[in-house]
Amino acid sequence: MSTDRHVTRRSDLIQSIRRTGISAMLITNPKNVSYLTGFTGDDSYLLIGPDQLQLFSDSRFQTQLQDECPDIPAEIRTARLLMPDFLAQLLPKFSLKVLGIESTSLVVSVRDLLVEKLKPVEVVSQPGLVEELRTIKDEGEIAEIRLAVRQAERGFELMKSMLLLNMTERQAAHDLEHGMRRFGALKAAFEPIIAVGDRAALPHYRPGLRRFDESGFALVDWGAVSSRGYHSDLTRMLVTSKLPPKLHHVYGVVLKAQQAGIAAIRPGARCQDVDAAARTVIEQAGYGQYFGHGLGHGIGLDIHELPRFSPISTEVLKPGMIITVEPGIYLPGVGGVRIEDDILVTNDGYEVLSSVPRDAPTSAG
């Protein structure tokens, strides 16, 4: 059954819906449906408003819905009817005047069909209402992310203990993901980035066939997903012999930048100011042009959530937010350095959730 936390979330969303002036929201993002109901399946929508609460799903999930959220009424379609037509048949009975949709997840063809079939109901884009609620994690969510961090860290330690210099990036990535699963992770939060040598200058490199003995270092960016779907996200430099002098200096700059960014985190701080605290360190060291991405992002049911640290982000930090802090410097043809940790905004500052040492490059030896 959906828990008190799901009831509270729905209540909070209804307050947001009232402020927009719409009659109800059609929730189509599977992560948002799960967040509001506890249902862990997919291909299901939720209609929610001050006077509406209805799931729309199909026969594959009928038993699962009864197990996970029996307190929420569900309409079940069969293969004889596609979801857009199913919605077009059922939504008119709710006597809506204005229907809000999640334009970031509902495809244009379905939106157009609803506009046509639901006349005179006005269908309006109302993105971000649930995502805004999701920025503040409750105690259960914080515990899940702590668990995902521990699973990622233990998987990383296991991978390092098994690492052979003649292994490829791809082989190490497979060992890393397997290790996280061994310690209880549902899966990797994303395909691990393991970039040997100058490949570390590619921020979102995909592991290939380069071997560890082709260079003395690698960048490793990885994370785990807990059994309840919450993500962690970490980055470390893994040194198999030594960093080149140039990158050793760069490592010190990136570490100093990360420390400055983390120190700026507190309730009420603007995200652009936290970004600036770290970015200024890198710019003053002469590497500003080699740090092009934002300082970090929220994590939770998705690997990238609100809020975001960037030069243009005006969002304000609040207790319960969990964000990454991940400055990097990327030198083409040489390599790159990125250091990333997961940070909880507390009532009076911050807590670093991750514990892999970062005061010196992590050695595989």
Same domain membership, residue 181 and residue 47: no
Are 190 and 276 in a shared domain? Answer: yes
Q: Which pLDDT score is estimated for 242?
A: 83
Q: Are residues 152 and 53 part of one domain?
A: no
Are residue 42 and residue 174 in the same domain, yes or no? no
pLDDT in single tens digits along all 365 residues of the chain:
457 899 999 999 999 999 999 999 999 999 999 999 999 998 999 999 999 999 999 999 999 999 999 999 999 998 888 888 899 899 999 989 999 999 999 889 889 988 988 889 999 999 899 999 999 999 999 999 999 999 999 999 999 999 999 999 999 999 999 999 999 999 999 999 999 999 999 999 999 999 999 999 999 999 999 999 999 999 999 999 888 899 999 999 999 999 999 999 999 999 999 999 999 999 999 999 999 999 999 999 999 999 999 999 999 999 999 999 999 999 999 999 999 999 999 999 999 999 999 876 666 65
**Residue pointed to by tokens 């899966």:** 187
User: Are the beta carbons of 69 and 4 closer than 8 angstroms?
Assistant: no
Last residue of a domain, one of 100, 134, 168: 134
Whether residues 162 and 121 fall in one domain = no
Q: Are residues 107 and 200 in the same domain?
A: no
Residue holding tokens 């936390």?
5
DSSP letter, residue 23? S
Q: Are residues 180 and 328 both part of a single domain?
A: yes
Consecutive H or E run containing 100: strand 98-101
What does the pLDDT read at residue 307? 97
How many structural domains comprise the chain?
2
Distance CA 268, CA 320 (A): 12
Q: Are residues 22 and 126 in the same domain?
A: yes
Residue 129 and residue 167 in one domain: no
Q: What is the pLDDT of residue 364?
A: 66
Q: 73 lies in which domain range?
A: 4-134
Q: What is the CATH number of the domain that holds 183?
A: 3.90.230.10
Give the ranges where the chain is alpha helix by DSSP (H): 4-20, 30-37, 62-68, 83-90, 108-117, 129-134, 139-162, 169-182, 245-263, 271-284
Is the domain of 156 the same as that of 52? no
DSSP notation for 290-324: G--S-SEEE-SSSSSEEEEESTT---B--TT-EEE
Q: At which of 134, 149, 173 does a domain end?
A: 134
On whether the CB atoms of residues 114 and 101 are closer than 8 A, the answer is yes
The domain boundary residue, chosen from 83, 115, 134: 134
Q: Write down the pLDDT at residue 362.
A: 62
Which token pair is 162?
A: 């098994």
pLDDT tens-digit readout, 64-97: 999 999 999 999 998 888 888 899 899 999 989 9
d(CA 272, CA 201) in angstroms, rounded, equals: 25
Are 95 and 225 part of one and the same domain?
no
Q: Are residues 100 and 216 in the same domain?
A: no
Token output for 282: 């890198």
Give pLDDT tens digits for 194-205. Answer: 999 999 999 999
Selection from 199, 206, 211 nearest residue 237 by Cα = 199
Report residue 175 as tokens.
């060992």
